[in-house]
Amino acid sequence: MKAFYLYAITGEEFHPGKDVVEVMKQAILGGADIIQLRDKTSSKQEVLRKAIALRELTRKYDVPFIVNDHIDIAMEVDADGIHLGQDDLSLEEARKLIGPNKVIGISTHHISEARAAEKGGADYIGIGPIFPTKSKKDVVAPVTTDYIKQVAAEISIPFVAIGGIKMHNVDDVLDAGATSVCMISEIVGAEDIQDVCSRFREKLTTKTKNTIGLIINGQQHDIDVQNVNEVVSHFGLKPNLIIAEVDGNIVDRDKWSETDLQNGSKIELVEFIAGG
Ligand code: TZP
Ligand code: MG
């Protein structure tokens, strides 16, 4: 799927008196580049009505449209994809129903769920809640930015951080390795939605513009690093236990910080287990 950076999810309880289509339009105008309809309380008929309206809006602005939970509605309105939680329809069943060309996103709270989603053919994963949130009922304990670091280091499909992300803590999320963020209340509950979204986009662009694509131990990683030293510390590895190879050549540890990396460099990191 095309890369996305600012993912806005509906949450009508945060904007009483404002229409959901107008709210999401403001989000798109501010720079949200993927939209999800999430409605846990309305009747199926009501959700369908909103899905039709949001499909029309997202077509007009050429922004991907994802439906939460209701795969039948996603298919009926020709949404671009579906977002599922761990207790919803399985990824395998969803793929059979929706077909190979649609997007399937899966919520994950643990690296084992992230691995399973990647293996099962998910197009992206949600990772969270990073911080405490009031927007989701029965939410698990915050996974913290440590989970972002884990996923950034290991998972190759796109991931988006979610849960309690606000203007004041988004830098921590990006510093931990996220390049996409997803929000409900901070976006749809804002007085000036367009302004909030454009400020988030600005942060995302500034923070992610220095990333380069590297193939590390066979997996693609887009990270903001310049040399081998920074790769090793990005993954939280102990330098004295690592042997590093760049494009087929072993690089001595005292040369790591002066070994600049290019977009597309292939890196192998071998970790020795201490002792023994
Ligand atoms: N999944 C994990 S946290 C969450 C969802 C749907 C709610 C995010 O909402 P907010 O208001 O951005 O914390
Ligand atoms: Mg669900």
DSSP annotation of 272 reads P
Mean pLDDT of 108-132: 98
Residue 113 sits in a domain of what CATH number?
3.20.20.70
- 33 and 147, same domain (yes or no): yes
Structure tokens given for 112: 């084992």
**Does an H or E element contain 83, and which?**
strand 81-84
pLDDT exceeds cutoff 80 at 209: no
Domain end: 209, 235, 262, which one?
A: 209
Residue 68 confidence (pLDDT): 98
Please report, for residues 120, 152, 156, 174, 189, the alpha-carbon distance to residue 219 in angstroms, rounded to integers and kept in the order given: 17, 11, 6, 20, 38
Helices assigned H by DSSP within the chain: 20-30, 44-61, 71-76, 91-98, 111-119, 144-154, 170-175, 185-188, 193-208, 228-234
- 248 and 159, same domain (yes or no): no
What letter represents residue 127's amino acid? Answer: I
**Nearest residue (CA) to ligand 1, atom 6:** 136
- 33 and 156, same domain (yes or no): yes
| Torsion angles phi and psi, residue 34, rounded to 5 | -160, 140
Mean pLDDT of 2-13: 95
List residues near ligand 1 (CB under 6 A): 107, 128-129, 133, 135-136, 139, 162-165, 183-186
Quick check: is 1 in a domain?
A: no
pLDDT exceeds cutoff 70 at 182: yes
| Torsion angles phi and psi, residue 113, rounded to 5 | -70, -35
Quote the number of domains for the chain. 2
DSSP lists the bridge partners of residue 250 as: 245
Give tens-digit pLDDT for 189-201.
999 999 999 999 9
Q: How confident is the model at residue 275 (pLDDT cuts 50, 70, 90)?
A: low
Across 54-68, 129-143, 197-211, least confident range? 197-211
How remote is the CA of residue 110 from the centroid of ligand 1, in Å? 16
**Is the Cβ–Cβ distance between 162 and 127 less than 8 Å?**
yes
pTM of the predicted model as reported, rounded to 2 decimal places: 0.81
Out of 25, 50, 55, 107, the active site residue is 107
- 94 and 131, same domain (yes or no): yes
What letter represents residue 100's amino acid? Answer: P
Mean pLDDT of 251-264: 92
Q: Contacts by 123-126 with C-beta closer than 8 Å and gap 24+?
A: 123/1, 123/81, 123/157, 123/158, 124/1, 124/157, 124/158, 124/159, 124/160, 125/151, 125/155, 125/157, 125/158, 125/159, 125/160, 126/83, 126/159, 126/160, 126/161, 126/162, 126/182
Quick check: is 74 in a domain?
A: yes
Q: How confident is the model at residue 225 (pLDDT cuts 50, 70, 90)?
A: confident
Q: For this structure, is 90 an active site residue?
A: no
Q: How confident is the model at residue 256 (pLDDT cuts 50, 70, 90)?
A: very high
Residue 274 confidence (pLDDT): 63
What letter represents residue 228's amino acid? Answer: V
DSSP annotation of 75 reads H
DSSP lists the bridge partners of residue 213 as: 222
**Nearest residue (CA) to ligand 1, atom 8:** 163
Mean pLDDT of 214-224: 87
Give tens-digit pLDDT for 49-89.
999 999 999 999 999 999 999 999 999 999 999 999 999 99
38 CA closest ligand 1 atom index: 6
Residue 107 confidence (pLDDT): 98
How far is 11 from 61, CA to CA, in rounded Å?
A: 20
Quick check: is 276 in a domain?
A: no
How far is 268 from 1, CA to CA, in rounded Å?
A: 27
Give tens-digit pLDDT for 148-163.
999 998 998 999 999 9
Q: How far is CA 220 from the centre of its chain?
A: 15
**Domain range holding 236?**
213-271
